[in-house]
Amino acid sequence: AQRVTQPEKLLSVFKGAPVELKCNYSYSGSPELFWYVQYSRQRLQLLLRHISRESIKGFTADLNKGETSFHLKKPFAQEEDSAMYYCALGNNAGNMLTFGGGTRLMVKP
């Protein structure tokens, strides 16, 4: 069975502070991991995928298979980063995503 755990429901930081949103997964196959974001009054949308090794809006995430983690990081948080963030795990068949419980990030001025 695949499972995604985001231990923090809420993370509150000040503008300019570093941010790390934690994500741990459980999966017997080769994992494909993603971060999705939902800004206020907007649809849930893809932020980044581990396979791309990309930095989007200053965010990065590294897949650590040893620790089964895929934490999302940004060195300097901005107020516009305030949103709901979901970590997601894709199955090997490539047709389904399992989401974590989400973490609400609040960046205070």
Partner 1 sequence: NAGVMQNPRHLVRRRGQEARLRCSPMKGHSHVYWYRQLPEEGLKFMVYLQKENIIDESGMPKERFSAEFPKEGPSILRIQQVVRGDSAAYFCASSPNPGTFTGELFFGEGSRLTVL
The least distance separating partner 1 from the CB of residue 38, rounded to whole angstroms, comes to 8
Nearer to partner 1, 15 or 69 (CB): 69
Per rule CB under 8 A, is residue 30 in the interface with partner 1? no
Per rule CB under 8 A, is residue 95 in the interface with partner 1? yes
The least distance separating partner 1 from the CB of residue 46, rounded to whole angstroms, comes to 5
Q: Where are the beta strands (DSSP E) in the chain?
A: 3-5, 10-14, 19-21, 24-26, 32-38, 45-49, 60-61, 72-74, 83-90, 97-99, 103-108
Tell me how far apart the alpha carbons of residues 16 and 107 are, in angstroms, rounded to a whole number: 9
Out of 30, 43, 66, 67, the only residue in the binding site for partner 1 (CB under 8 A) is 43
Interface with partner 1 (CB under 8 A): 6, 9, 32, 34, 43-46, 49, 51, 86, 88, 90, 93-102
